[in-house]
Every structure is written in C-alpha cells, then in structure tokens.
Structure 1
C-alpha cells in the first residue's frame, strides 16, 4: 500500500509540474506578444522619422549637385529647378511647387539664346520632346565657349514626366584635347613605345615599334615574349620603374617599364643602345685584358689617386672579390680600419705615400702582418706616376718576402746552431783572420766569457802577453810558426802541445791549423782546433756521432720533401728533369700526359699548357701560378694549382722549379658547398619551422614562408620592420632587455607570443644564434615552432594538477581527522575491554570479550591500512629508521605474532632458522616486521589446509652488507595468471568471490610493495592455482657496527612490577580514555594525578615533582606541544628534562616527527596497548 501511495504522489507531482510549466509558457508568450507590439509601434515611428530625414537629405543633395535639373510633369508644367541650373545659365532663381508655390513659368527657364547656335539647340530640343525617349550625353556649345552636356530622361513612373539635366563638361573637353595633342608625341617618337596588359598582350605600339612587333610575331612562343611578360608582371608588383637590357634582331635595347597607377597595364619605353653597348664592350674587353694581366701577377698591385684612394687592386692584395670591390674608392686608412690592420701600419703607409708624392721618387718599406698560416712579410713600394690626363697617381707593388725572411731566419738559426755546436764541443776551436787575429774562440778553448770577449781582435802574441803567467814561454812564437807554415804550404798543419787544465792537470793537446781561401786564392781565415788526445776515443766517437747527425739531417730533409703531398720537380734548361720527390714519382706512374703518343686531344692540350707555362716563365723570368687539369691513366681528371718559378744558375741559364698542389678536393668541396647552400636555402624556404634573421637592433632581414603563413602577412611587409612592431606590447620591455642586456642573445629556447593579422595570439618556442663573421655585420638567426596547442594543454594540465593536489590535501586532512575521531573512541573500547579482561568473567562473557577485542583490532588494522594507502596515493613516503637489529629475532617475532591465528586454523607454521653466525644488520625492523606480517596474514587467510613457511636466504655475504631474499610460502588457493596482473593494485583481490569468502580490504599487498620498494627491493609473486603462492623480495642490508655497546633489545617481561611507586602526571580531556589510563597504571602501582586540560597540566608540573608525564596533544587551553615547549624552557634542569610521552590519535609520521621535534621523548598512538605504555614508561624512567 505504501508503494502505491508513493507512485500516485509522484504522478500527481508530475501533473502539477506539467500544468505549472504550461501556464508559465502561456504567460511568457503573452509577454512576448506585448513586447513585439511595442517594438512594432517604435519601428513605425522610427520609419516615419527616417522617411522625413531621407526626403530632407535628398532635397539637399539635388539642390547642391553640380548638375542643373529641370523637372517637367506629364502636363508640361515645370515642377522643380535646382540652384545649379540658375547659376549655370545666369538666370534669376524662382520658387516652385517644392517650396509651396505655383509651377514655374517656361519663360523663366528660357535658355535658347545662351547657346552659340540657338536655332540648332531649339530644333534638337523639339525633336527630343517629340520622340519621348531617353537620350544621354548630347553636347552643345554655349555662346561663351563652354561645353554643355544634356541628358533627356523620360521617367518610368506613371505621370512622372521628364527630367532634363545639364552638365558643364568644358574642362573634360580641354583635357581630351590635351590628350590628343600628347598622343602625337609617341607617334612621332623615333624610339619604340609599347603598352602591354598583365597577360603580355600589346595594347598600343607606336610606329617605331614595328620591328619589335615583327620580332614578337616571329618568336611568339620563344624567349622574347616570356621576358617581356616577366618585365610586365614585375612592374605591376612594384611602383618603381623597372629597367632591363634585351637584344632583339641583333639590336640592343634598354627597356624602361612603368606601371600605370591603378591600371592593369604597363608602358615600355625602348632606347636603342647598340652603339653604346659595343663601345662599352670594347672598353670592358680592354680593361679586362689589362686587369687580367695584373690579376695574374703573383705580386700585390694597387693604384691610388692623389688622395690615397684605391683605384684598382689585384687578388694578391685582397683575395675576396667582394672586399676588393668595396675597397675601390676607399682611402688606405679606411681599408686598414675595415681590415683591422694595426694603427701603426696605417700611419706607416700614409707617411710613405706622402713621401713618394712629395719627393716624386720610389719609397720602399717592409711590413709584417698576420696571415692564415702565421706572420707574413711583405716588401712594399710606392711609385709616383702622372696619368695621361695629368692626374697624380701612385702605383703600389708588394712582394711576399715571407719565404726570404724564413730563409734568413733559417740561416740565422743554422748559424746559431753551428755556433752552439762549436760552443758545446769538447774541442778547442779558434778562428783567425789572415793577420792571425782572433775572430772566434769557443768556451772549450777559453772558458771565461769575459776573456773570450777580450781576446777577439788580438793576435796570439798580444793575448799571451796579457796572460803570460798562464802560458809556457815560447808558446806564442811556436803557434806563429805553424800559422805561417800552414799559410805557405796551403795544407793542414798538425802538432802536439802540452797545457794545464783548470784542475791543474797536464793535458796533451793535438792541434790543427787549417787555412781557408777565398775564390781569388787569398787567405780568408785560419781555423785552429785542439783535441785532448788523452780522450781520443771519446773525441772520435763524438766526431762519428756528429757525422751521423749531419747524415740524419740530410735524410730528414729528403724525407720531408718526399712526405709533402705537393708535387715537386726541377726542369733543367734542356727540359730534362733533374730533381723529383715521391709525390711526383707517384703521379708519373699514373699519368697519361707522359704517354702523349695516341693520347686524347684533352690530354695533349694539358701537355701543351704545361710547356707553354714553362716557356712563359723562361721568357718573363717571373713566377707563374695557374690551375691546370691532369688526366690519370684511369681517366680520372685531377685539378692542380701549379706554381712555377725561375731558378737562375751561375752560368745564366734558367731552370724551373715546379710546385703543384692537388686542389681536386677543394674544387669538389667548393661545388659541394654550392649544393649545400642551395639545400640550406631550400631547407629554410620549405621548412615548416619558423625561421628569420634580424640585426642587433631588431630589424628583420629575412623571413621564411612558414612565418608568412602563420602571421598572414607577406614577407615584403615584414622585412625591414622592427621586431617590436610584430610583437604584442607586453613583450616590448623584454625585447628591449633582450638587446640591451649583458648577454642578450642566448641560445637556449624561450617562449614568446605573436599576434597574427586576424588578431589571434600564437605561442612560439624559439631559439637564437648570433652569427658573427669577420668583414660582415653580425646578425641573429632565430628559429622556432608554433607550440600554442602545447602551451594551452600545459596550462590545462597545470590547473588539473593544482586541483588534484588540493584534492589530495583535502583528502589527507579528512583522513587525519577521521583517524583522530575513530581512534579516540576506539581507544576507549579496547582499553575498557582490556580492563574487563582482568576481572572474573564467565566463559560466555570471556568469549564475548574476545570477539569484541578481535573486532576492535580488526577495525584498528583497517584504519592503519587506509592511512598507509593514503600516504602512498599522496606520495608521502614512510620515513625509514636505520637501526641495528637481529634478523633471527625479526623473523621469529613475525612468526610469533601470527602463531595464534595459525593454531586457530590448524595449519603448520614453519620459520626457517638462519645460520648461527648471522650478523646484526642496519635497517627498519618495524617496517620489515609490517611487511612480513602482511604477507603471513595473507598466506594464513587464503590457506585452509597444509602449511605456511617463512624464511630468509643469504644470497651474498659481503664485508659491508648482506644480500637477503625473504619469502613467505603457503599451500593455499593460489592466484591465476590473469588475477596476478592486478593483485598489487589498491583494493584488489583475486575475485569478488574471494572477497566475500575471505574478507579484507585488499590494501595489504599494495602497502607491502610500497614499503619493500622504499627499502630498495621489489616484491615478487609466484603462484599456481590450487597449489599455493610464494611472495618474495630481495634486500641489501648493511652490516651493523660490531661494538661493545651493541646488545639485543630487551624482551618485554610478562609484568611491570618495576613501575610501582612512580609519580605520573596524566593530561587527557576525554574522561573515558583518562579513566582507562589511570586504571592501567594504578594496576601496576603507579601514582597517577589526572587533569583534563593543558593549563592545569602545566601548573601541576611546575608545582609538584613527577617522574614522567603523559600529555594528550589536543586539550582545552594549552595543547600537549605547548606544555612541552614551556617545560623544556624552564630554568629548573630537573623539571626541564622530565620524560614526556605524547598521547595522540594522529597516526601520520609527520605528526610524530613534529611532536618529537617539539621536545617530547616518545609518542603513543591511540588506541595503545597496555604493554606498550608500560614498557615505554620503563624505558624512559630507566627503572631496572
């Protein structure tokens, strides 16, 4: 009956709602109709006002038009004449029906006499009236010479009559006459003139263009029409005139093309420049001939005017053609600054130039500058000359004397080398001139450097006179005699001589005099040596080593020449080859040019070029450089840069040294570079990336089509604009900092916003790179991509992440609150059950109590699992405690915890023992116990018959750590492979059937896996349905330090009699929990003083002496943390250090850490175990 009543009420409500909705719709329709009627009234009134306004505007328009109007109705009465008509014919105006008067009299508008031919006008007017048809643009001339245009309009409206319009077109007639006069100019112009439309069709051509029209007709589909069409299209795209030279039928024309503004055609003006071009060509050929000669000269050549400005320079002076072109017209100082020459170089050149011009003589100087391979030395010369027109010119020539300088340095180095060899030889060496004066003495002969300097220029007699105390008598005369003997006999002279060394020991010296003569036969110098023949073996060995060194040097030089990749050979005057290196020999082995008989024409030409070059060098006595091809016997053509220079022999004949450098790869690289440049251009042009360049002030230099498509703006409108003009205003400050900062051009990517032509904002990720090349202005290459979708998605993701984090925080706060609210009454339930257990109970009562305790513990376990899961989902990792513990005790404790549950299900529980010598390890024993307990509980839950085994295997026993594999094995129902995939997910179980049968939340394995991964392992599963399951994980646990202080943790005793007599302060605002704590502690003889707020707790602690205090965290007045903070700051050291236990229903690790950081000694989470509370008091009060 209740169900029927409910349905009827619902239907009744639906009917009422439907009727209400219908009524509301009717009322809305009525209101809309009223509003529509009001709008229609307003629209009628507005239309009437607009009609009056339009009439007024139309009347004003007709009245002020520059056309004379006469409106005649169907009856022939004049209804309206506007003001311009009266003014045009000089008649007094009269009002008509439009002003509320009678029709205007025909006599008032009589105008026949105003015309030059009144009779003709009157006759034509009667014809028009009789015809009764509209006629337009009839022209008549007035007596004053002005031209009038007449429109006779027959109005279509019934009874409307006729409208006669008069316009003064005198100025238009005058313009037409001027145009006709101007048209004679192109007709009589001797130069061709054409007008073409956008399709290249000829619209007009003057008589002089007849030959060109003929050529276009003959070559209708050839190159000339196409080029003309390209000129037309180019002119239509730009307002500037276009010019181009074209050849037509052997004649050269200069085409000047200009577009007609606002028209789709252009005009071409042609000037015959055949004679001028021929003259220019002859002049260019002559100039090219002379410049080619100068450009081939291996010396640097330049020509200056009187202002020291470049008029010409060849490639030796500046290889880069663009730079050469720029230098022409620039002064020497300007080019020095541009090429970054030192200021001293520019000043020296200016001084030499001024001296050459002033004194009209050659001025030479040497100049050193950095080249690509090191310093370059140049011998420069300024020579003043006077041009044919009397202008002062200065010729500059420069010769690269780097090789000569290097040779001079090499000679100096060799001289220094030989002198160092002589100075280091353990042989006395002296060099005399023809008068027996000392020129050189080595340190072996005279160790004292001052004496060596003094002896230079003295004879032996003069030297011994100064140092007679150190030389035997007659020694100077003896040497003079040997000197004369060697000079007279022109042979070496040898003698033995005794001397005392610096250690005052006698030495027998074997001395030599060797005369050296010049080309004329006169004595040039005498070389004297002295050898200590007491060590002849050493001297001979040294001499042999010196000879070997010289041989090695010669071999080394030859090896260098043979190692060079350049082809070297010497051609004697008789064209025979007297010297070659290995590169030359290798080339000859594969060279067709040396087998000229029967060779192809190209090879014969190559041989001819080589011989011609040789003859040119012999004839001019100047070095020549050319690039020549060389064909190998394989048919491969190589390219060489051939350098030939004359080598003058003493007999006057000229040999030719040839140095050929293989530049085949360079040429190929140049061609490859050109291809790569095209590829790079195509890459930029066709790339979907946004690529542009701009200078360091932000002016755009180029943009690729991708930017055009993105912005919707043609490149021509973007190039030349500043970046600030293309970016939104909000970026201009950043753009200014971008250019004015210390490092404005960063290469890392950045995000910027641009605005398209349609106003759409697009986000770009862009990169910049500053390109700086010597001789060129630096610029910035920027590339980027449109990342608008990514930016928008990122913003959405950030919002979603923020919402998710806020939700996670809200969930965490909710769980913390729920945990607190559940744990507080649960503490009362379990606490009272514990107290009740200590009383005398009947068997049913004890069974009820046990059930109640199991249910409470199950609820507590469920609450802990949910909190642990909340920590995992909010990424709050558990804080692991690394402390020494015994693995055996840990395994035994886990097994002991579930022993009762195993016994209840009548299963066999086996804890496999560890080796007896198993060391203690460092780790979190509590979390390991939690994981093992979860795995054991799962195994027991899903095993009805058989056994459950727990064990740990030592996989690796290293000196620093143990690698262990923990495992739990059961003979339960097992897990299918399909269900194993999801078994570690939160709230997941094997099946719904399993959940109904065995219960549980499905969080244990998820929490266990998280804890194992945090400890550095991975939880693994192995299962066979119907046979059982094994869970295992592997951990690496460091060995605990083996110190005397280490001891096993105390095993809780069955009783806590040692607590008797302790004075304890308990602060708990929940009276049930307060009563439980008091009863538990007083049971063991503890004197408890209980208060229900923080303020009383603080007062009691300051007034009474207690052994310890238990403070609830949340209390009226002061919290437990505030009381602890105050006590820890108390001046009484005993009170400040009293043990304090935090009593809280907050189960999060962060809360526990905060309480300990505030100064509390320990934290006890509700609901707590009696044994845990008592053991904690024993530990903190140190009662033995």
Structure 2
C-alpha cells in the first residue's frame, strides 16, 4: 500500500515521474543510497566487531536488531552471533540465563533494566567471570529501543581484589612491625602512623592531616623535637640517601631515645605520600652503653682477675673449635700442651698419645653433635712415659656468631686414679684370696662330707651314728660360715646375681623352713607358719634360694635368741595384679628382744647387739647384713621392731612376678638304673674327693676311669670314648678348662661333643659362667649332695648326641622363661633382630679405634641377650672383652681384636638364621 508521502509526491510531480531521464536519475540515486547503506552496515559491523564490549541492539518489539560476536562469546552463544538478529530478546535472555551464577537474580535485574531508561549492573557468571551491563534507551527512527552493552571486568576485578589484599597485608605488616613508621605529605602533614609511632588510637586518629608542631602543642612535648624534625625533612628533600639522626623524648618514666631517618619516596608528587619516616627505640641500648661505659674499668679489673684466677688454678681449661683448634687455654693447659709437644721417648708412647688424642677428639665431637654436657676421664701421656689422668667436664659454648665450640674444664685425678687402681687391685686380691680359700676349704670339706654321707649308709652303732651326725653338722656349719663370708664379699663388690626361677611360694617356703621347725621343737618352742590364702595357686618367678636364705636367717636368729614361747612366720598378700603379687613376710619371736640403741646398727656387717652375743649364741654377725642386702636386691626393704625382753619382729615386702604352674615332672630317684653301664671319666686331683665321687658312681652301676691330673685325663680321652666326663677345674699339669678345649677339638665329632660336668670348689658365679663359655656343659659346686650329682648326670646323659656342627643358638632357656608364651619368644627375637645390628656397628667402630673402654661397655650391654639366646661361640669372647684394659695401649690388643672378630662372626651368623626361626614361631601360632 502506498504511503501518504508517496501519494503526495506522485500528485505534485507527475511530469518528473513520467520522464524517462528522471527515472534513471532516481534509480541511480537509489543504487547510491543502497551502496551507502551497505557501506554504513560494513562500518557498523566493523565497529561493533572490534569493540572490547558485547553489544545488543533491541527494537521496540523486543526483537534483536543488532548483536556482535563479542556478546555471543560472553554468553557462549553459537557463532556467528548475527543469526540472532530478528529473534526475540526473551529467547536470547533465556539462553544467557544458563550462564549465570544466580539465574533468579538475573531475572530480577533484567526486569528492572528494561523498565527503566538506563541502568548499570553487574552480572556474575557460573564460571566465575564478572560482567558489567549497561542498558540505555535509544531512538530507532520513530521507535524506541534499547542498547545493551556488556564488558568483562573479571581481570580488573581480580586485580583490584589483589591490590586490596596487598594493601591490607602491608597495612597489617606496618601495624605489627616493631618500628615506628610514619608517612607525610610535602607540607609535613601526617598521612599514616602505625601503632608503634603513636600507641594511643585516639591520638593516632587525631594526628592524621596534622603536623608534628600541632602534636607537640597538644600533648606537651618540647617544640625542639618538631624543629629538629623539620630540619631533617628539608635535608631529606634534597638528599639521594636516607637522612639519619638521634633524638631524645622526655616522658614521665624517663627519657626515651630513638634512632630515626627520613627517606624521600620515589615518584613523590604534591598531595601524595612524600616522605617516609622510621624510628627505632634504642633506649635499652643507650642505657646499656652508658652502664657499660660507667663499668668499663670494673669490667677490665674483673677480666684481669678472672684471667689471673684461671692461670693460677691447677686445672687445665681450654676452648676448642669444631676443627679441634685451640681458641683459649689457661696457663695449666698451655703448659700441658707444651710438655705434650716434646718428642716422645718411644714408639709405644707415641702410639699411646695418638690413641688418647683420638679419644679426646671423639668426646669433643660428641659434645658438638649432641649439644649436651659430657663428663669423661681422659689420659695424657707425657714424653717421659708418665701418664696423668684428668676428669673433664665438656660443654657446648655458643659464640656470638652462632658457632659452637667446646669448653673443657679438667681436674687432675692421677693420684685418685692410682688409689682407685690400688683399691681395684685390692678388691681383686681379696676376691682371689676368697676364691683360693673357698677352693682350699671346699675341697677337703667335700671329702669330709662325702665320706660322712657314705659312712652313714653303712651299719653303724648308735654312738657311731651320733659321731657321723656331728661331723656332718659341723661341716655344714663351717660351709654356712664360708658362704656368709662369700655372700658379703659378692654384695660389697656388686656381683651378687639373682636367679629367676619358677616356684610355688608356699611350698618352697615350707620345705625350706621345715628343718627349723624340728630345731624349735627340740628347744620346746612353738613353731607356726601362717601363709596367706588366695583363690589362685601362688606360682611366681623370683629367686627362691635367696628368699629362703633370708627367711632361714631370720628364723634361725629367732630360734637362737628365744628360750620360751613361740616363733611365727606369717605372709600377707598386700596387692594382687595380673602381673605381680606383692607379699609381706613377718618373722615374730618372743625372745630376748633388742635394745633401742642397738636397732640402728643391727644390720651392719660383723655387728651384734652385744659384745658377748657371739660367745653366748654363736654366729658371725653377718646374717642380718646379708639378709638386708638380699631383700634390697629382691626389691624390698628389711625392717625390725623390737621390745627388750618381749621379742622382735622382722618384716619385708617383695614384688613377685606371677606365673602359671609348670607341667608335673616325675621324681627322679637316685637308684633308677638310668646310669647303669655308662662309662665315665673322673678327673680329680684330690684323692678323697675322687674316692667319694667314685663310690657314688659305682653304686649307680657306672664304669669309672680315674685321672689324678690334667695330662692323664687328656691321654685317657684320646684313647677311649666316654659317655660323660666329671672334670675338676684346678688340676696339676693341665687345668680342666684346657683339657675340655682339647676335647672339643677332637677330630671325631661324637667324641668332641662328649658331655663334661665341671666339679668346682669355686662359689663365684662369674667364673662358673666362664666354664660354660669354655665348652663345659654344666657345673656342680663342691661339696655337693648325692641327689644333685645324680640329677646332673642324668640330665646330661639324656640329651641327644650333638651333631658335628654346633647349633648357632638355643632358645630353650628363653622358652622356659616364657612358659609356653610364643608371642613373648617372638617378641624377644624381633627385639634382638632390631637392636643388635646397630650395637655391632658401634662395636666394630670402637674396636677399629682401639677404644677398648667403649668396647667393654657395648659388650656388657649385649651380654644378657647373648646368654638368653645361648649363642654358641659368643660367651668366650665376651669374657675377654667385657673388662676394659687398665693401661693404654692395651698390651693384649691383638687378642682383643681376635675376640671382637669371633663375637661379630657368631652374632652375625645368628642374625642371618633368626628370621627363619621367627617365621617358624609365627607359623606355629
């Protein structure tokens, strides 16, 4: 339909419209207009396509008139974006809505934007982007429209957020830094002050925008501070370096000193931060300097005094660095080093000095490594060969630069060391004397008691039987005195070792004290035993021999000092747990009692309440001393209460490890026929003891060959095969140990494994362990009971024949301790596998350094484990190594190196075999 405009045009100019030339002109204009329109559209497309913003032009009918590709990319629309032209804006909004983080908020913003003339808003997309939307109303010809523009502000927003975080960080940092910091503008107005500069928040808020002059006027500070700071400000304006100065601020608590500086900020401009000011409170330093200056003379005098003291004292003092260089040494140390620098007299002295230096360096290195104090005994050999000993205390000394050095203070203990060695030699001499006396007494006593026992089996008259009982009683008493003396010696030397045996508490006590009940009855005394009652059988692990020894001592004393009344032994269950029984024992008598002033010394060795006690009642005065020491070692404390004329009560409590009852074992008679036709070699130099042993063996049906010395014994062992050997230790010509060593090297493996029972008069357990390490299978102390000898022989002959190769280890002792608890055995094996290798490495290193003291400590540390696992070949080298040499270099160093090699080989071989043993234990569960 023609418009009103076209009708008017046709009516007024009909001639033009009908003119061919005019029509051509109009067509030309139309083409030109279309070309201009196309060019305009190209320009518009180029313009919108190169914008950094997304553009959407919407007509009055809410149809898209124009959209650039940037808008399509912002909302992940299919490309090209021009395909949306002519489509509904609602459809486009729905598509864009899928990209929004909050679609509901987007809907609300769209409604508001399209109902207003213009508006800006932020759109958050689901992928984290942030868009700024600008909606403007535009005129499209005669119709209204809208222009929607979108700009991606994500990077800008993130940059602003980072700037805000950075600004917050620096503000926090400036607020917390322990330095006064201010920022001023060009007119010296404060733009910033941290809390260190102005602690009061109200004062700090007031200061911003004001000058220091105003601050001083308001809070009463001297104006000279502001004037000085103005001068420094002007200097800093023209200086390329910071300007430093010191000032003093008077306060109610005294003057406060500051070290301050101004720094002109780079790029400073009027109205902007211009000058940075910093101030450090140096009041403490200034005061310290003033004090230092006032006390400089006193410090010098004190230093000279200390130097004089260090040089005057006889104790060497030095400081060494980590490389061992001497940093400081007093006069005694310098003199010692001067003497040490002289040429040694011999190669042996040079070697000894080298070992000493190596050990000292190792101790210093330990101080530096652990950063802890170390105390050590150090030797210093002079060129003359004289050896001086020092007790040194070494501590880490931290220097101002952080370096750690060693401060050593030594005390000359040469005289003390000599006294100690003399005392040790005296102790050793005493032990040797006691061992000799034990042997010399026990050997004939063994013959006396043995013959008396054999004599008692013969047909005797009543008077003769009485004579035999007297002989046996006197011999037993003499052995008791000897055992008391040996026990005291072992207690004083710290060598009294306790057994750990399973036993029934009540039965063991009652069996032990039963003979004393007869003794009490002979004196007309009542004898009462009152054991505690419990629902479970009291099977425990401890040392029944030592426990009974204490009870026998106490009961014997009670019977000895009681003439009428009764003796009572009571036990109480104090505490009962799954692991332990805590039992209290009391021995009460109605005897003569003890005076109050004698109670304090009653437990001392060789001490009795009265001087005539030994004459009237007998005894050595050792029983109570030994009993107290035994109770202490068992884990208790022996106490006594007494009233003179009314009796005494001795009491003690012990922790006893709970265990389960063992399986019943048949009693072994001394004439069971188990030893019949067994061939034995009896090697004994004492003819009486040889006769006693021979008669015992013959009555059990054994075939006996005798040897009166070591060479004869070895000759018989070479010529004949024996089922068992009874070996005396001390024999002329060749000791029993030497004979046994030769036997173990016999080419016939069966002969080499012949059981050997040592018959020893030595009562020291340490040496008896050495017998086992030397290859003997068991030992029996003289004098022995017939039953003991029989049981030992049967136990050794019942063992299966030893294979050609000796087992590396034996867990039978460990299993016996565990009482069938496989988990306990496995745990012990695992612990050995874990902790032994590091100890072996330390042992190897110490031996390489000839540090035999450390070797002795390590060997002593691992010895219990070696005994528990019964590692073959380990006990003999342990005996060689567990005592440190008394002089360096050790004269037996080659022997010690050989022993270390043997010990390492034996234990390392066991370590290789134990994992299979552990697997076997775990598989048996």
Normalising by the residue count of structure 1, what TM-score does the alignment of the two structures yield?
Answer: 0.46
Q: Find the residue that maps to 1:1023 and give its secondary structure.
A: strand
> Which residue does the alignment assign to 1:1035?
654
Contact 1:1064 1:1087 in 2 (8 A): yes
> Which residue does the alignment assign to 1:894?
512
> Which residue does the alignment assign to 1:729?
342
> Which residue does the alignment assign to 2:594?
975
* Residues 162-212 of structure 1 deviation map (CA, whole Å, 9 limit, x = unaligned): xxxxxxxxxxxxxxxxxxxxxxxxxxxxxxxxxxxxxxxxxxxxxxxxxxx
Distance 1:1121 1:499, change over 3 A: same
Task: From 737, 747, 766, give the equivalent of 1:1150.
Answer: 766
Distance 1:1135 1:1033, change over 3 A: farther
Residue 891 of structure 1: how far off its partner (Å): 0.8
* Residues 529-582 of structure 1 deviation map (CA, whole Å, 9 limit, x = unaligned): 975599999999x99x98999877766665555445544555566665555444
Residue 1120 of structure 1: how far off its partner (Å): 4.4
Contact 1:623 1:646 in 2 (8 A): no
Query: Within 5 A, what are the aligned runs for 1:552-591?
Result: 558-569=171-182, 577=190, 579-586=192-199
1:1141 aligns to 2:761 (yes or no): no
> Which residue does the alignment assign to 1:1093?
708
Quick one: distance in 2 between partners of 1:685 and 1:1170?
81
> Which residue does the alignment assign to 1:1169?
785
Contact 1:751 1:765 in 2 (8 A): no
* Residues 237-259 of structure 1 deviation map (CA, whole Å, 9 limit, x = unaligned): xxxxxxxxxxxxxxxxxxxxxxx
> Which residue does the alignment assign to 2:444?
825
Unaligned ranges ≥5, structure 2: 1-44, 55-66, 110-119, 134-152, 312-316, 369-373, 800-925
Residue 477 of structure 1: how far off its partner (Å): 8.4
> Which residue does the alignment assign to 2:465?
846
Quick one: distance in 2 between partners of 1:1070 and 1:751?
48
Contact 1:647 1:657 in 2 (8 A): no
Residue 696 of structure 1: how far off its partner (Å): 13
> Which residue does the alignment assign to 1:1056?
671
Quick one: distance in 2 between partners of 1:637 and 1:603?
13
Quick one: distance in 1 between partners of 2:707 and 2:569?
47
> Which residue does the alignment assign to 1:1047?
663
Q: Find the residue that maps to 1:629 and give its secondary structure.
A: strand
Quick one: distance in 1 between partners of 2:276 and 2:675?
118
Residue 865 of structure 1: how far off its partner (Å): 1.9
Normalising by the residue count of structure 2, what TM-score does the alignment of the two structures yield?
Answer: 0.58
Query: Within 5 A, what are the aligned runs for 1:260-271?
Result: none
Quick one: distance in 2 between partners of 1:440 and 1:1122?
108
Distance 1:557 1:476, change over 3 A: farther
**Number of matched residues?**
669
Query: Within 5 A, what are the aligned runs for 1:607-1006?
Result: 607-614=226-233, 624-632=243-251, 636-643=255-262, 645=264, 658-671=277-290, 681-687=300-306, 688-690=309-311, 729=342, 790-791=411-412, 794-875=413-494, 877-916=495-534, 917-1006=536-625
Quick one: distance in 2 between partners of 1:904 and 1:1177?
37
Residue 902 of structure 1: how far off its partner (Å): 1.9
Distance 1:1125 1:967, change over 3 A: farther
Distance 1:604 1:831, change over 3 A: same
Distance 1:919 1:665, change over 3 A: same
Q: Find the residue that maps to 1:974 and give its secondary structure.
A: coil
Quick one: distance in 1 between partners of 2:82 and 2:552?
117
Contact 1:508 1:532 in 2 (8 A): no
Contact 2:53 2:71 in 1 (8 A): no
Distance 1:702 1:972, change over 3 A: closer
Contact 1:1018 1:1033 in 2 (8 A): yes
Unaligned ranges ≥5, structure 1: 1-431, 442-458, 483-493, 513-526, 712-717, 756-760
Contact 1:754 1:762 in 2 (8 A): no
Residue 914 of structure 1: how far off its partner (Å): 3.8
Higher relative contact order (CA 8 A, sep 6+): 2
Quick one: distance in 2 between partners of 1:860 and 1:642?
96
Contact 1:1092 1:1115 in 2 (8 A): no
Task: From 82, 96, 100, give the equivalent of 1:474.
Answer: 82
Residue 1119 of structure 1: how far off its partner (Å): 4.9
Q: Find the residue that maps to 1:964 and give its secondary structure.
A: strand
Q: Find the residue that maps to 1:965 and give its secondary structure.
A: strand
RMSD after superposition: 6.0
Distance 1:1174 1:656, change over 3 A: closer
Contact 1:1109 1:1140 in 2 (8 A): yes
Quick one: distance in 1 between partners of 2:97 and 2:235?
67
* Residues 901-937 of structure 1 deviation map (CA, whole Å, 9 limit, x = unaligned): 2222222222222435134222222233333222222
Quick one: distance in 1 between partners of 2:257 and 2:273?
29
Contact 1:700 1:723 in 2 (8 A): no
Quick one: distance in 1 between partners of 2:776 and 2:247?
96
Quick one: distance in 2 between partners of 1:1081 and 1:738?
61
Q: Find the residue that maps to 2:470 and give its secondary structure.
A: helix
The structure that has the greater radius of gyration is 1
Quick one: distance in 1 between partners of 2:788 and 2:361?
66
